[in-house]
Amino acid sequence: LDWYADNGRDLPWRDPETTAWGVLISEVMLQQTQVSRVWDSWLAWMKRWPGPADLAEAEASDVLIMWGRLGYPRRALRLHETAKAVVTAHNGVLPADPELLLQLPGIGEYTAAAVSSFAFGIPEVVIDTNIRRVHARIFSGKGAGAPSLTAAERKLAAQLMPDTSTAQGLQDANTWNVAAMELGALICTALAPKCDQCPVLNQCAWVAAGKPEPKTKAKTQSWNGSDRQVRGAIMGVLRAKGAVDVGTLQTTVEATGQLGRHLPEVSQWDRAVNGLVTDGLAVLDDKILALP
């Protein structure tokens, strides 16, 4: 907690004046996306749609355009659906109860706990990839958490939470979550940990064991040549033009340079277009592909 007080980043969504809705938007944007890419997008999003009712009234196409190049654009559509659900089911007020948050479109266990803790001060146990890595290294001597969240990891995280029986303990519990997350993001990183700057270096079982490599490494798919790259390039064209004839789609996309040297086969173009339509990110009408 002392380390976080001195080293925590001054991020806009951590401002005490940020609404619970703003916290939710930040948590969704930050999923698999770096803080540096989210910063300006979050500010622009909150300026245009400061509350659920504002976003609920927006067109899906405008939401996707505003999402820009943050990646995984289905997150934008889920936020749009969430805004509508908050207006319909909760009179436009985001609920604090994590169980109610879990009922909203696209809101999972982590996001529900994070919003309850960070926005409402409810001492929920928050567990993300950074926190799991910090706990694994300090207490288990492993370089990373298990491939998927385990019961043992949940139990450990709950045991580490400060006692919430006092007002100070309640405040510390909520700070604890973000402090552990920040330690993993800035110091106890996955690839190049700054162990010499770690406030718990002397208690770290992983360092004591000689920093062993994880037995299993997460599989990552190359971006270049992937269906995701092609889908992203198509979405870039749709955001810029609104609609495009599928007959000229390939030349239009390739002209943007977003695919680099990759020249997709016809089957990959078909998969990308069909996938976007299936996911609700685009509509196809009489050979015209457009934003929804």
β-partners of residue 289 are 244, 284
Short-list 153, 100, 105, CA closest to 113: 100
Return the DSSP state at 51: S
| Amino acid letter for position 168 | Q
Distance, CA of 287 to CA of 103 (rounded, Å): 37
Among candidate residues 124, 107, 11, the one with its CA nearest the CA of residue 52 = 107
In the block, tokens 């993993």 appear at 184
| 96 backbone dihedrals φ, ψ, rounded to 5° | -90, -25
Residue 158: CA atoms inside 13 Å, Cβ hemisphere, count?
7
| DSSP per-residue codes, 100-160 | HHTTSTT--HHHHHHHHHHHH--------HHHHHHHIIIII--SS--SS--HHHHHHHHHH
Residue 245: in which H helix or E strand, if any? strand 243-245
Q: Do residues 126 and 113 make contact, with C-beta atoms less than 8 angstroms apart?
A: yes
Q: What are phi and psi of 31, to 5 degrees?
A: -65, 115
Catalytic machinery residues: 27
In angstroms, the CA 59 to CA 29 distance is: 19
Instruction: Find the largest Cα–Cα distance for the chain.
Output: 66
